Amino acid sequence: MTDLIQLQTELMARIDAAQDLAAVEALRVEALGKSGSISELLKSLGRMSPDERREQGPKINGLRDAVATALATRKAILEEAELDAKLAAERVDLTLPPPPERRGRVHPTMQTLDEMIAVFADMGFGLAEGPDIEDDFHNFTALNFPPKHPAREMHDTFWLPDGPTGERKLLRTHTSPVQVRVMQKANEKLPSWIANGQEPPIRVIVPGRVYRSDSDATHTPMFHQLEGLVIDRDITLGHLKWTLDTFCRRFFETDAVVTRFRPHHFPFTEPSAEMDVQCDRSGGSIKIGQGSDWLEILGGGMVHPNVLRNCGLDADEWQGFAFGLGVDRLGALKYGMPDLRDMFASDVRWLEHWGFSAFQAPNPATGLS
């Protein structure tokens, strides 16, 4: 009997003194485990006489219950203390701003292209596309560049190695070869929503990548152009001027844009012109719609009869205009980006600064987003 009381007193003291959950578990095994001190006592009941068992049974069971309860209580106290310590150490400050979230941005060139397409689509232009890898015929010959003419060199062409048939392919130097493809109806492999291959009247724009061996602040070896082509029976230079003036006003979102045509030469148009917009270059940035400086933004003219004939159209029946705009350059102008080379340097910091949100609401004045 005294043994039981002594065992209980000793176990209770050790349970109260246990400093962590591992110590409580060790005590449980020591007392109540398979060969623990109390388990052994419980086993000894089987060897006792019925009288002895009747007397010892309740005491040993009482001891087991008391120790089990003390272990559970100590465990709960220690668990709570552990949680408190954890909460104190890992406190969450709900007043802190959330960590920055990396969002994708729309590249300014793609934003500019979308805006340009929206303006021309509103004027009734369809969309055409053509391959980046072109042949000499579509890029030069059909566009009335005479063979061996220095104008071919003017374009700083990236030539590809000779093909199996000896034909040299090239990376297109401009989007104008798609004019040829549209007029020739040559490109039937493209999806049907692309307006390639239609009979006149033709009214298409052709956005796309073009390539020239050239690199400085205003030139990159790959850049984007948007070509325009309108062919009908009675199209004049006046239509070209109106179309481009209207485009500029809508694209730059101001009626204050002033433009001028300067005579120029392109083999595929006659007459040919370059168009400038009036701007203000003072103060390090270019502002459209003010000032007295001029900036060239595109080339255009009346499609040369030789081009119409090279594409199988009757030049006595059909005539039209064409133009080519630099997409990246117009974007840089509208949004004030100083160096075109940065546009294709793949610097995420640059893109985060100059890029656009993919979820912009459309501007109610222009319908553009």
| Only segment of 44-52, 121-129, 243-251, 321-329 that touches ligand DAH (CB under 6 A) | 321-329
3-state class of 311 per DSSP? Answer: coil
Stretch that binds ligand DAH, among 34-42, 316-324, 342-350, 356-364 (CB under 6 A): 316-324
Q: How far apart are CA 18 and CA 71, in angstroms?
A: 10
Residues 96-125 that bind ligand DAH (CB under 6 A): none
Spacing of C-alpha 43 from chain mean position: 74
Residue 299 interacting with ligand DAH (CB under 6 A): yes
Position 320 contacts ligand DAH (CB under 6 A): no
Query: CB-wise, 109 or 269, nearer to ligand DAH?
Result: 269
Only segment of 15-23, 63-71, 193-201, 298-306 that touches ligand DAH (CB under 6 A): 298-306
Q: Are the C-beta atoms of residues 63 and 4 closer than 8 Å to each other?
A: yes
Task: Tell me the number of residues near ligand DAH by CB under 6 A.
Answer: 11
The residue whose Cβ lies closest to ligand DAH is 324
Residues in 233-292 that interact with ligand DAH by CB under 6 A: 266, 269
Could you say which residues in the range 131-150 bind ligand DAH, by CB under 6 A?
A: none
* Six token digits for residue 274: 């370059």
Q: Mask 163-202, x = binds ligand DAH (CB under 6 A)?
A: -----------x-x--------------------------
Secondary element (H or E) of residue 319: strand 319-326
Closest distance between ligand DAH and the C-beta of residue 301, in Å? 5
CB of 132 vs ligand DAH, minimal distance in Å = 14
Span from 84-92, 192-200, 318-326, 351-359 in contact with ligand DAH (CB under 6 A): 318-326
Among 301, 307, 308, 368, binds ligand DAH (CB under 6 A): 301
What is the separation, in whole angstroms, between the first and last Cα of the chain?
Answer: 91
Residue 227 interacts with ligand DAH (CB under 6 A): yes or no: yes
Nearer to ligand DAH, 63 or 180 (CB): 180
CB of residue 126 to ligand DAH, shortest distance in Å = 16
Is residue 116 within 8 A of residue 369, CB to CB? The reply is no
Out of 322, 332, 337, 343, the only residue in the binding site for ligand DAH (CB under 6 A) is 322
User: Could you tell me where the beta strands, DSSP code E, fall in 197-248?
Assistant: 202-211, 222-232
What is the contact surface with ligand DAH in residues (CB under 6 A)? Answer: 174, 176, 227, 266, 269, 299-301, 322-324
